[in-house]
């Protein structure tokens, strides 16, 4: 997003749901469902008074109303809601996901934003079935990469208006990753020509990484990118202040489509020091050989501190 001085900002809001047992047989405090929410705000690097990258984490037990999502009947009658405490994503009309309002907090800052769709939802993988390994690990996965966002970041020092582009992902599965899979590298890009691009690599300790991606045309048509269509190479590693070593500069090429970019960030310290730590933050896509430039987000998991 951009502020009124054309400076770059980023935000993240994620809601996780884990069922630890047969949830149909337990209610109230005996519910086996655990909820976790992450929120982050990434102000411009050249605005140190904004506090730098900030994040927050919350947990909740299912079955007591502290966190949840709407039932199908409630969505049809009132619209969609997903919440944990007072962190809330709420549709503005019945039977639809968007337009919606998003409200959450990070530290002493309150964030309030409006979301509206600019294009269609995209099914990832094979009509939404996203294979994660050759051993059968998979998820159902769709994205809404065509979202306009605007709102304000508010604190005791005043408020800052922001607007730009957003990306919503929804993914669910009944399995964990394969035992040899150590983490993933995920990229979501808004390209200047109106196209959208999602790429991920699931890293394997055995050297058999799993790649997948989707290139979405400006009209919403989605093209699945299989294992052989993606060339993703880390170019430079950075040691963060907390000692974690991360590849924060990449070369991404789609040879068959004659597209390529160098991906990097101006803020290496966008690290989420949460219960499950990972890096997630704003990146820029510098074009290669006539490709369109772009902006987006990168998520890196499973990396460790240097010895």
Q: Residue length, the chain? A: 307
DSSP 13: E
Distances in whole angstroms, Cα of residue 208 to Cα of each of 135, 178, 181, 212, 225? 12, 12, 9, 13, 17
Q: What is the pLDDT of residue 306?
A: 67
Measured CA to CA, the distance from residue 300 to residue 268 in angstroms comes to 12
Q: Which fold has domain 177-307?
A: AttH-like fold (2.40.370)
DSSP 25: G
Could you tell me if 95 and 71 are in contact, meaning their C-beta atoms sit under 8 angstroms apart? no
Domain positions in the chain: 1-175, 177-307
- Other Cβ atoms less than 10 A from the Cβ of 59: the count is 14
Could you tell me if 145 and 165 are in contact, meaning their C-beta atoms sit under 8 angstroms apart? no
The tokens describing 224, both together, are 């699945």
Which element (helix H / strand E) includes 76?
A: helix 72-78
Sign of the torsion angle spanned by Cα atoms 94, 98, 99, 102: positive
All residues at 6 or more sequence positions from 217 whose CB lies less than 8 Å from its CB, including other chains:
194, 195, 223
CA-only gyration radius of the chain, Å: 19
Could you tell me if 172 and 140 are in contact, meaning their C-beta atoms sit under 8 angstroms apart? yes
Residue-level pLDDT, tens digit, the chain, 307 residues: 999 999 999 999 999 999 887 777 778 888 899 999 999 999 999 888 888 999 999 999 998 999 999 989 999 999 999 999 999 999 999 999 999 999 999 999 999 999 999 999 999 999 999 988 878 889 999 999 999 999 999 999 899 999 999 999 999 998 888 889 899 999 999 999 999 999 999 999 988 899 999 999 999 999 999 989 999 999 999 999 999 999 999 999 999 999 999 999 999 999 999 999 999 999 999 999 899 999 999 999 999 876 6
Q: What is the pLDDT of residue 217?
A: 96
1-175 and 177-307 in the same fold: yes
Q: Identify any residues that bridge with 153 across adjacent strands, giving them in sequence order.
A: 111, 160
Q: What is the pLDDT of residue 239?
A: 95
Q: What is the torsion angle, in degrees rounded to the nearest 10, for the CA atoms of residue 166, residue 248, residue 181 and residue 196?
A: 30
Which element (helix H / strand E) includes 77?
A: helix 72-78
Q: CATH assignment of 1-175?
A: 2.40.370.10
């Amino acid at each position: 997003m951009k502020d009124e001085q054309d400076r770059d900002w980023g935000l993240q809001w994620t809601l996780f749901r884990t069922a630890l047992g047969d949830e149909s047989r337990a209610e109230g405090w005996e519910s086996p469902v655990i909820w976790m929410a992450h929120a982050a705000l990434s102000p411009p690097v050249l605005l140190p008074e904004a506090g730098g990258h900030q994040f927050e984490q919350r947990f909740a037990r299912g079955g007591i109303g502290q966190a949840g999502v709407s039932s199908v009947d409630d969505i049809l009658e009132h619209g969609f809601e997903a919440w944990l405490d007072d962190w809330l994503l709420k549709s503005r009309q019945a039977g639809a996901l968007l337009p919606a309002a998003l409200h959450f907090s990070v530290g002493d800052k309150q964030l309030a934003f409006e979301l509206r769709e600019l294009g269609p939802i995209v099914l990832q993988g094979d009509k939404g079935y996203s294979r994660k390994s050759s051993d059968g690990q998979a998820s159902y996965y769709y994205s809404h990469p065509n979202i306009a966002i605007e709102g304000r970041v508010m604190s005791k020092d005043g408020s800052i208006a922001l607007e730009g582009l957003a990306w919503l992902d929804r993914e669910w599965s009944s399995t964990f990753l394969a035992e040899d899979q150590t983490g993933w590298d995920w990229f979501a890009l808004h390209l200047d020509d109106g196209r959208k691009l999602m790429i991920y690599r699931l890293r394997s300790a055995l050297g058999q990484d799993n790649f997948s991606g989707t290139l979405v045309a400006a009209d919403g048509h989605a093209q699945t990118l299989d294992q052989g269509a993606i060339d993703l190479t880390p170019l430079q590693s950075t040691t963060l202040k907390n000692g974690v070593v991360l590849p924060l500069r990449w070369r991404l090429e789609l040879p068959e489509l004659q597209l390529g970019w160098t991906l990097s960030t101006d803020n290496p310290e966008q690290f989420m020091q949460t219960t499950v730590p990972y890096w997630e933050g704003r990146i820029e896509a510098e074009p290669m050989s006539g490709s369109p430039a772009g902006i987006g987000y990168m998520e890196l998991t499973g990396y460790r501190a240097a010895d």
